[in-house]
Structure 1
Amino acid sequence: MGALTRVRAASVAAWHSFLRRRTAVFFTFFFPVIIVLIFGVLVGTQPTGGGLFTEPPAYYIPGYLAVVVLFTPLSRVGSEVARHRAGNQFEKLATTPLSRGEWLLAQTLVNVVVIGLAGLLLLALVVLATGADVTLSPLVVPFLVAGVALFCGVGALLGSFADSQDGVIAASNAIALPLLFLSETFVPPDLLPAWFRPAMQLSPLTYFARGVRALTSEPAAETWFGMAAPGPLLYFGVLAGVTVVCFAAGAASLPRTD
């Protein structure tokens, strides 16, 4: 049995496992919809006034996508690893040809499909509910794939070192909430203190947001460590580099036995 066959079989099993958890399926799609309805419809944007949402609706598309790219892999993969540890599943996995990296890749592929579907739903809802002028580009797909793989790797790290599923959820929220609002997603840099803005460029989610924003709407006047902002290709390069490191670390952290 080759590696592709093993990954495919593990992906199919993970997909059916996801579908059996109807509550997880519901909230995977319901949570980002609520975010769009609250921020995009109830709060709304104020392009000519003050307040938090001062940019055109299309500016916040990376933020809406970041909700599912960030929260879903962290919680799903982290909880899956914690469940496998609690049920001694990694000890059984060690007796099969499936490697830890292949297992994590299978989980990542399932998350890519789930988040891809949720992303399409979000884009449609944003356009219908807020009237955002969106430029659809197929180059957004690599950003989504890289972002999902990155946070699947981080989720694997959390699941490997947290002492329980509750610990995974708490750690996921502690990481995801600051990243979501401090990575040029919903909060423009000029609304934050000048001393903090360079720190935003240390977040990989910043490069996801910048790249997606440049591909879906008119790019804002951004700077990159004080220099003129580069194009989406460089943003993707940074994101992909961090993704490789986090995915490899997540795969290596998975226990061989329990």
Structure 2
Amino acid sequence: MSGYTALTQAHYRAFVRDKTSLFFTFAFPLIFIVVFGLLFGDQSVPGGRHVIDYMAPGVMAWGVGNGALFGVAYTLMHWRRSDVLRLVRLTPTSVFTVMASRFVVVLGIGVVQAALFIAIATLPVFGLTVTAQGVLLSLPVLLLGILAFFSIGLIVGTYANSPDAVAAIANCVMIPMAFLSGSFFPMSQSPGWLQGFSRILPLRYMNEGVTNVLSGTKGASSLLVPCAGLLVFAAVFALLAAKTFKWGKES
């Protein structure tokens, strides 16, 4: 068995055995869909669309990004704190292999999250409209979004030294970003200054990309800016993560 396969299996087993992580990854974000969908989902916004058409993709993007960031940050912190990474370093396993094995698991979790969100939001009680083409077009946005937040999570996991620190930093990053990026309301209804400010946040691009194509109202050309923005964020944070990576608590 290769080091990559062994690490991938270890990441997967650790995740499925952690009931708390399972709940906050899958069930907790769905609470927002249910609550906000029942309260505001059938209300209309300028353009003739319903709030659910903006809110469901936004909450889905936030939930997937949150899962990617928190999952890798906690794992990296725990493995470094318990000296697992030091043991890995003694093997012919590179940093890239360690991170790639974790990313595959995070990517799979993100896809399952997205599928679950869409399945719930398209129930008649909520009424989200999606098309098969829209679902396919949203996949590259999800991939790049997961990569961007995974890279941020690597940095958080490098500097956080306890589970409480991971939770505090991850929440300080993701909760304000959700409100500033339009995850819970259409950005068109926010002030102009906020719409401009949100352009420096990766979640804005992820929200915009998924919302543009999921219901089939826009085509592939509408993904150019969101995908380019997410790619830039992913590259910048991945470079920072590579520069700051630590194998142990002191290194």
The reply to whether TM is greater than 0.5 is yes
d(CA) in 2 for partners of 1:235, 1:25: 29
- The alignment covers a number of residue pairs equal to 242
Whether contact under 8 Å (1:56, 1:132) holds in the other structure is no
Alignment of 1:31-42 (within 5 A): 31-42=28-39
Counterpart AA for 2:238: F
Q: Which residue is equivalent to 2:109?
A: 114
Moved over 4 A (4+): none
Q: Which residue is equivalent to 1:16?
A: 13
d(CA) in 2 for partners of 1:240, 1:92: 32
Q: Which residue is equivalent to 1:226?
A: none
Which stretch has the larger CA shift, 64-73 or 171-180?
A: 64-73
Whether contact under 8 Å (2:141, 2:226) holds in the other structure is no
Which residue of 135, 138, 159 corresponds with 2:131?
135
Whether contact under 8 Å (2:26, 2:113) holds in the other structure is yes
1:218: how far off? Answer: 5.6
Task: Please state which structure has a larger fraction of its residues in helix.
Answer: 2
Whether contact under 8 Å (2:60, 2:114) holds in the other structure is yes
- TM-score (ref. length: structure 1): 0.85
Which stretch has the larger CA shift, 205-214 or 192-201?
A: 192-201
Instruction: Indicate the percent of aligned positions where both proteins have the same amino acid.
Output: 28
RMSD: 2.2
d(CA) in 1 for partners of 2:101, 2:141: 19
Measured at CA, do residues 79 and 181 of structure 1 come closer, stay the same or move farther in structure 2, by a change above 3 Å?
A: same
**Other structure's SS at 1:130 match:** coil
Whether contact under 8 Å (2:4, 2:97) holds in the other structure is yes
Which residue of 33, 56, 79 corresponds with 2:74?
79
| Unpaired stretches in structure 2, ≥5 consecutive residues | none
Counterpart AA for 1:83: H
| Unpaired stretches in structure 1, ≥5 consecutive residues | 221-229
> Is residue 2:150 matched to residue 1:148?
no
Q: Which residue is equivalent to 2:190?
A: 192
d(CA) in 1 for partners of 2:66, 2:240: 19
d(CA) in 1 for partners of 2:103, 2:32: 24
d(CA) in 2 for partners of 1:67, 1:208: 8
